[in-house]
Structure 1
Amino acid sequence: MSQAVVAQIRDALKHQEQHVSFAITLMEHLVVPTFVLDAEQRVLIWNRACERLTGVMAAEVIGTRHHWQAFYEQERACLADLVATASYEQIANLYTVFEDPGQPVFGVHAENWCWMPRRQQRLYLAVDAGPVYNETGALIAVVETLRDITEKQLAQSKVAEQASLLKAHYDEHQREAELARRILEHQIRSDLLKQAAVDYSVTPADHFSGDMVLAARAPSGLRYAILADATGHGLAAAVSILPMVQEFYRLVELAQPLASIVESINFLLSNSLPLGRFVAAAFVCVDDAAQCGQIWVGGVPDVLWIDAAGDVLQRFVSRNLPLGITRARGDEAGFEDFSWREGNALVLLSDGVLEASDQASEQFGEPRLTAALRQKGGLAPITAVHQALASHLKGSLPHDDMSVLVIGHCQSSVAQ
């Protein structure tokens, strides 16, 4: 072999060695912790970032199979070992989080908590390992990179813990709310409402309604009804009106005059409600046999007396304070008598109906209410009001409880 050929071979090898040396130097100075195993799982490279992460110096592991000692107290395979031996089925046993290595040639990802013996610290590491093959397809090395994502994992665990705690609190709240709702509903006798031949609807703005409709027929045949609207809405408002339920049924059973019922319930609420809480209401007593009735209005919108065509014959305006504000009984001027005629009806409603606002913040208002009653087209008054409300709101949610009570010769019964 000529000297020229030998010189060319020497230059080529020297050039190749320079490339290899550059690659090794580059890997050693990477900011990402990295180590490289050969096909026999001996450490070829243990870069400086890996030294900082593990506390283990390169001189301690280069040329050995002791790299596991940087991460575990007992001998076990690292991800690079599994790639080197193609033992991918063991990944699920050794790592808590991993990606299915469908094409191992592109590398494998896994995550796990590791106890770093040298640092005496527990870290959560994200690990990627990929094989390196020569021109013939033989494995010559495996590169493993590591990322310390402990803070991220702890933050995610904290968020998951808080989410679980919040869900537990929410579920408990829902169970308690459902129990409370059933207790409240159980207090109101739907059978007595049906016997009283009234149409009604109560649409809560929340899980609980601060509006309430009660009706019952006394043994004498007199029909009594209340539409009540407590301050606010939700559970606090619903609890505010609860004390009056059984008292109403007791007094109706005794066929007490309407004035006595109002006085008794007002006294009860004024002694049970906290300061700032009160109940607006309208009370009605109807004597169908004598075709007459009596009404008391305190704090709710005008009660409308309509004829069969839906025209307003008379308005019964609020002349009294809401219930629960003062213990003193109002004078007799607060009660109004009316004559009861076939086809007439009384329409009682809470202020949530008139104040129901659409997406443009325009309230439903009394003009729309009276128009709905006049143009009901054969519908029951309460159905006509519901349809007009739905048309006005166009899917917007009410901001307050909405209740309607119709006392008359109506056939339908609506309960929401």
Structure 2
Amino acid sequence: MDNLLTTKCILIVQNDSSFSHPLKNGFTEKGLYCDHAENTASALELLDKHYYDLVISDIVLPVMDGIQFMQMAKSKCAHIDFIMIMGQDSPYDAMEILEKGAADILTKPFDLDILWATIYKIDRSRQRVQELLTVIPQEYIDNLDLDQKDNSQDIPTLSVDTSNITNDDLNTNEKLKKVTTVCSQLSQRLTHEINIRKLNALVLQEAKDRLNAHLDNSPLAYIEWDLEFKVVSLNIAAEKLFGYNLCEIKGSHFFDTIASSSDDIKQTRMEKFMMENIAKDGSKRYCQWFNTPLTSSNNQILGIASLIENTSELFKVTKKLSDALKSNKNLFNKLKYEYNIASAILSKVMKQTTQEFSHVKFLRASMEVVCGDLSLAFNKPSGGLYAFIGDFTGHGLSAAIGAVPIVDLLIDMTNQNCSINDILFAMNQKIKDTMPTGKFLAASIMEYSYITGVLKLWNGGNPDIIIVGPEGIKKRFPSNNLPLGVLDSNSLDFTLEEFQTEPYDRVYAYSDGIIETFNEKEEIFGIERFEQVLTELKDPKQSIEEITQAIDTFRGDIEQQDDVTLIELTCIPGTDIEMKDISDDYHNFKGCNVKIKLDSTHLQSMNVSEYLIQIIEQNPLFLPHKESIFVILQELVSNSLDYGLLKLDPKMKKSLEGYEAFFTRRQKALDDLKNGWIHIELEVFPEPDAKKIIIQIEDSGNGFNFHKILTNLEDNVSFSGRGLSLIKSLCHEMHFYDNGNRIRVICKFDDND
């Protein structure tokens, strides 16, 4: 069976399984594709679905006999050859069966070798027909018309010279001789022409065999289609890819077999495209298709050749990468969202806490969304200015996480007029207590006196603090200390360095992100280049812009590798610089008179006690007696809020349990407060050797029975009722007005106290 060239797919039509099954197994073992049908109805269904080269059929069959079945089958598939099997009592004789269209007949019983020989004979006959077709000129085939009796005029003839044959002077023998010669010439010409065509056919067959060999050994699947997009042929790779052999799929339409959707192929029939295909077992294949039209010598499209690459694994990997990219994008967006929130919070903190100065400028350029550096400046309540540069370990959010507690601490201690030594001690302790191991803060802090022009500074871990005068660099203060957070607070040296500045000297404190900026040549900006920029500034008013431009120009297209932060302090001694108004809208300072209006929104959203402390500490006139003033204010405001606006019962605080219930109810009442206000007014009247301070508190509540609440402070040992008595003991006078919702106290403080 290895010699069979044209017979690949066989159909057995036989209702005797004892005969058909061994026969089918034998064909399968020889490498042929074989199907079996027990009746003609099943056989016709198989012929509609599959391609067959040969049918072996019994003549005696149910439904219809084998001859009728053969004729019906040939009307559908004229190329199929039939071997008919007949018994001794067959209703048809052998000649009649052959005339009906059978290729051959076998009579039961017969030897299998006879069957193989018969199949081989039919195969060779089919080969000869195909070879004959290859040598017949295409013009003959194109002009062949079976309905015409004489079409010799349309068929090209071979050229033979017969001009020397005449009927006038030749006798019969001579004429016969001449005709014989002409026929001999014609035979020679025909033989030569046939040999030439056979040689060309062999060359074409060899080329075709080589092409088929390449296609069969190609790792890419190959399928040839006709103009109706039905399968003509396919290679081994295509069989493996889709699970069909040629007999199963030949003549089948693309959309009925391996196409999952017709949309893509209809739109890009002659182009490269990617689509999902369905294999025989129903599994999916993601394939890359390369379609090429097959054309004749006159450019007529005969069919389509497709090379198919199985990209299923690539598709899976691509999908995983796409899913991972989508997941990473979602994660990135989430992180970006959180970063933006953190950045907004930090920016708000910095904006709310940083005072604005005409003589202090900042350069802040963060590497990431959130900056890990700090740059702050504050006017001291007692006069002068604090400036601070901080650079936490790392970058971004991990570095900026320590900014809030450090900023809060710096603000609180500045408002309390704490010294640089105390601030540094507290900062170091805060970092040691709250920051994870390995988190340090390179810090530079400066104190500048507007009156004396003296600059005091401490540098721990930051680059040199540089003082630039009209003639160039006047002084450099290198870091003589470790960053904050490295050593215990008691082990740090907080000794300050001092420098007497002159008017319009410029002081620069900055982080290492400036001098460690890299360019594409892997050079660093460096301290020398930075100092050259500082000494060659063209316009002091545009100093920050010029410094920024110099850094950006040096870096070029290289991404920023660190946060860049700088403070420029221009020394203008002789008088305190007036700070821009950044006070809250709901309080107003007018000389020695302070008026504060707190509505329900303020009372719910702010810490009133901390706010009162800030009010007192921001006015130098209150500072010598701030503790007593704060106690009086705190008690008066609490009294108006708790009993005037929230209408709480002071009797609840008679016991410890009631005390806890009081504050629980207080918080709920405060949350539910819709309207209401408290007005506070403080007035300071200087007197010889003393100050008279008048405090008036008024609320929008219904008031309270203050006569019953007043008790002696020394006789009160309960949890409540001490407020008004305490105020009375600290004041010279205390007066209630209206229903108790307005109270006025007068205090006198000796300046020598």
TM-score by length of 1: 0.74
Question: Where does 1:115-194 land on structure 2 (aligned, <5 Å)?
Answer: 115-117=278-280, 119-132=281-294, 140-189=302-351, 192-194=354-356
Distance 1:15 1:286, change over 3 A: same
Match in the other structure for 2:540: 379
Mark the CA change 1:175 to 1:96 in structure 2 (over 3 Å): closer, same or farther: farther
* Structure 1 contact 354–365 (Cα < 8 Å) conserved: yes
Pick closer, same or farther for the CA change 1:378–1:389 going to 2, 3 Å.
Answer: same
Q: How does 1:365-376 map to 2 (within 5 A)?
A: 365-376=526-537
Q: Which amino acid aligns with 2:331?
A: H
The equivalent position to 2:392 in structure 1, one of 230, 239, 262, is: 230
Deviation at 1:257, TM superposition (A): 2.5
Aligned-pair distance for 1:20? 7.1
Q: Work out whether 1:71 is the aligned partner of 2:258.
A: yes
1:213 shift after superposition: 0.5
Given the superposition, is the C-alpha separation of residues 405 and 138 from structure 1 closer, same or farther in structure 2, using an over 3 Å criterion?
Answer: closer
| In structure 2, C-alpha distance between the alignment counterparts of 1:14 and 1:40, rounded to whole Å | 32
Once the 2 structures are TM-superposed, how far is the Cα of residue 94 of structure 1 from its aligned partner?
1.1
Conserved 8 A contact 2:464-2:477: yes
Contact 2:516 2:525 in 1 (8 A): yes
The SS at the match of 1:242 is helix
SS of the residue aligned with 2:438?
Answer: coil
Q: Which residue does the alignment assign to 2:431?
A: 269
Cα gap change, 1:97 to 1:251, in 2 (>3 Å): farther
For the 8 Å contact 2:255–2:262, the answer to whether it is kept is: no
Structure 1 residues 41-50 or 317-326, which shifts more? 41-50
- What does residue range 272-291 of structure 1 map to in structure 2 within 5 Å? 272-291=434-453
Q: Once the 2 structures are TM-superposed, how far is the Cα of residue 404 of structure 1 from its aligned partner?
A: 1.9
Q: How does 1:6-405 map to 2 (within 5 A)?
A: 29=213, 30-31=215-216, 33-38=221-226, 44-62=232-250, 64-65=251-252, 70-71=257-258, 94-96=262-264, 100=268, 107-117=270-280, 119-132=281-294, 140-189=302-351, 192-195=354-357, 197-312=359-474, 314-329=475-490, 334-339=495-500, 341-380=502-541, 382=544, 385-386=547-548, 389-390=551-552, 393=555, 396-397=558-559, 399-405=561-567
Task: Give the number of aligned pairs.
Answer: 384
CA distance in 2, matches of 1:131, 1:356: 60
Q: Aligned pair in 2 of structure 1 residues 198, 329: CA closer, same or farther (>3 Å)? A: farther
Cα distance in 1 between the residues matched to 2:531 and 2:307:
76
Structure 2 CA distance for aligned equivalents of residues 335 and 36 of structure 1 = 90
- Cα contact 1:196–1:223 (8 A) shared by 2: no
Q: Indicate conservation of the 8 Å contact 1:34/1:143, yes or no.
A: yes
Q: Which moved more, 1:322-331 or 1:242-251?
A: 322-331
Which AA in structure 2 matches 1:164?
A: K
Alignment partners' CA distance in 2, 1:364 and 1:26: 68
8 Å contact kept, 2:371–2:396: yes
Query: CA separation in 2, counterparts of 1:393 and 1:40?
Result: 64
Q: Structure 2 CA distance, aligned partners of 1:205 and 1:139? A: 63
Quote how far apart the aligned CAs of 1:141 are: 4.4
Task: For residues 17-67 of structure 1, give each alpha carbon's deviation from its aligned partner in whole angstroms, at most 9, with x where no partner exists.
Answer: 6577667655654225444455676655455544444333333455x4467
Inter-partner Cα distance in structure 1 for 2:438 and 2:227: 82
Cα shift at 1:328 = 2.4
User: Does the Cα contact within 8 Å between 1:113 and 1:125 map onto a contact in 2?
Assistant: yes
- Does the 8 Å CA contact 1:124/1:148 hold for their aligned counterparts? yes
- Secondary structure at 2:342's aligned position in 1? helix
Q: Specify the code of the residue in structure 2 equivalent to 1:71.
A: I
The more displaced of 238-247 and 187-196 is: 187-196
Matched residue type, 2:318: Q
Q: CA deviation at 1:243?
A: 1.9
Higher RCO (CA-CA < 8 Å; seq separation 6+): 1
- How far off is 1:403 after superposition? 2.2
State the Cα distance separating 1:387 from its structure 2 match.
5.5
SS of equivalent to 1:353: coil
Partner-residue secondary structure (3-state), 2:569: strand
Residues of 1 paired with 2:466 and 2:495: CA distance? 16
Q: Distance in 1 between matches of 2:492 and 2:196?
A: 117
Shift in Å at residue 249 of structure 1? 1.4
Kindly, what percent of the aligned residue pairs are identical? 21
SS at 1:189 equivalent: helix
Deviation larger for 10-19 or 243-252: 10-19
Report the Cα distance in structure 2 between the residues aligned to 1:148 and 1:223, rounded to whole angstroms.
Answer: 74
Give how far 1:226 is off. Answer: 0.6
* Residue 569 (structure 2) aligns with: 407
Q: Once structures 1 and 2 are overlaid, which stretch shifts more, 152-161 or 225-234?
A: 152-161
Summarize the Cα distance change of 1:155–1:7 in structure 2 as closer, same or farther, 3 Å threshold.
same
> Could you tell me how far apart the structure 2 residues matched to 1:42 and 1:294 are?
93
Unaligned runs of at least 5 residues, structure 2: 1-156, 158-182, 578-753
Q: 1:285 to 1:42 in 2, by over 3 A?
A: closer
Q: Is the 8 A contact 2:459 2:479 kept in 1?
A: yes
Distance in 1 separating the partners of 2:235 and 2:196: 28
Superposed displacement of residue 390, structure 1? 5.0
TM (normalized to structure 2)? Answer: 0.44
Which residue identity does 2:568 align to in structure 1? V
2:709 aligns with none
Are the counterparts in 2 of residues 54 and 70 from structure 1 also a CA contact under 8 Å? no
Contact 2:421 2:494 (8 Å CA) reproduced = no
Relative distance call for 1:178 and 1:111 in structure 2 (3 A) is same
- Partner in structure 2 of residue 87 of structure 1: none
Verify the 8 A CA contact 2:226 2:303 in the aligned structure 1. Answer: yes
| Contact 1:195/1:216 (<8 A) preserved | no
Counterpart AA for 1:114 = N
